[in-house]
Amino acid sequence: MHKRLFVRFVRWVGYDLGISPNQITLGRLFFFVPGWLAWFYRQELAVHTGLPWQVIGAFAIVAVSTVILFDVVDGALARETGQVSDQGKILDPLADKLITYSTLGLFWGAIDHLGLLILFLLDLASTLLRGVQVEGANHFGKFKALAQNIAKIFFAFAVLCATPFLNIGGNALIWMAVGLASISVGVRILPAKIQSSILVAIPQILTLSNLGAGVTAIWCATQGKIGLGVAFSFAAMFFDLSDGAVARKLGVSSTFGKQFDTIADMVSFGLAPAVIVCSTAGWSILPMSLGAFYVAATLFRLYDYGRSKDRTPKGFFRGLPSPAAAWVVISSVLFPNPSLSLLILVAAAILMCSFRINWIHFNQVIPTIRSSEIIASLTSGLILALATHTAATLFAAPIIVYVFSPIWRKPLR
């Protein structure tokens, strides 16, 4: 549905309005400047306008995000109308680099300078290689750009919501972009046989990153660094979502990879959430018993997932997926009530084993997301933030909507 609407929009821009891809690229640069300046001078603008600086910052985020999203439009329009030009091949990547690194430069005090420098050099090398090769951006370059853009959101919300621990997620994404950019450059210059070996290893590297983030979250929780533990748990979810998508995109799969993924999920989405909750609620008998119950439910959920794929409707899960359950649990830690976290821990464990209920697959959510779901997420997030006076509770809103989604998202019979 959304893909058809996007194609119609691209055709309307190109055929009805007569706008060329290069004009869109130049327009992106033109509209980027006000957004960049609004963020840079948000404090001064707040004094002159009387608006809270957070409102001006939010406007800047929306403006820059819109400019970034239109990067997809100019490329699609060039392919749709056949207006691929040598000027566009140079102008588009240069505009992308200017927008990307000008935006990342706004967070100079929070960003990892070494990671940013390496990423810039790899981007430069990739752009030069694209100039002498026929191929455009490969899949790894596109994933790298996605990681960069998500990192910007983390850095921006760390400032906007006064939650510095989000900078850790932003820097983790920067280093992920470094890895993806390295692969993107490598597949352009390495022999085909070596490229094939690299492609097989990539999903397993992402799974290893999932496991590493989960172990780090556990360590942070045992040291009382709950905020860091929550951040690494979200990073583990991102890696888990990426490894399967990348494996399917590359057409690689292995028995070892599936078993390794299950082990990583058990640590990151079973053990880590339980340890985080026990750390906040205290290491007494009740929290530890409920934590053990949650870990056992996660293990049973993963076991059922492996043996029930043939009986599960396509595009859906039997029972609440373990990453979603982990998101519910660690989001509850953001609320200033340990007893609530324990109740949600038990509820999430029960939902994971509720095999008669079907939740839509993660990779089906974004392409089919509905306006009502977006509005519900925004509304519930604002209510939670106002009720708890904690902006970080905004992260709980999407998963709340997802948990209740079986009411209106049902598999076709």
Can you tell me which residue has the tokens 């929550």? 230
- Residue 353 carries which side chain, given as an amino acid letter? C
- CA atoms 212, 214, 215, 216: torsion sign: positive
In this structure, are residues 143 and 103 in contact, taking their beta carbons and an 8 Å threshold? no
Residue spans of alpha helices (H) in 111-165: 113-132, 139-160
pLDDT of residue 259: 83
Give yes or no for a contact between 318 and 358, defined as CB atoms under 8 angstroms apart. Answer: yes
Q: What phi and psi, each to the nearest 5 degrees, are found at residue 318?
A: -85, 115
Q: Is the pTM of this model over 0.85?
A: no
pLDDT score of 133: 47
Q: What percent of the chain has pLDDT over 90?
A: 22
**pLDDT tier for residue 17 given thresholds of 50, 70 and 90:** confident
Contact 295, 335 (CB under 8 A): no
Q: Is the Cβ–Cβ distance between 336 and 385 less than 8 Å?
A: no
Residue with tokens 């906007």: 160
Region 123-136: mean pLDDT is 63
Dist CA 381 CA 162 (whole Å):
16
- Cα separation, 239 vs 366, in Å, equals 17
The pLDDT of residue 199: 67
Of 80-89, 207-216, 226-235, 379-388, minimum mean pLDDT range = 80-89
- The whole-chain average pLDDT of the chain stands at 83
pLDDT value, residue 218: 94
Lowest-confidence region among 278-282, 306-310, 403-407: 306-310
Residue 161 binned pLDDT confidence (cut-offs 50, 70, 90): confident
| DSSP for residue 317 | E
Delimit the domains of the chain by residue range: 1-106, 113-189
In the DSSP assignment, the letter for residue 51 is S
Average pLDDT over residues 50-64: 88
Closest-CA residue to 11 (of 90, 83, 85, 86): 83
CATH topology (fold) of 1-106:
Four Helix Bundle (Hemerythrin (Met), subunit A) (1.20.120)
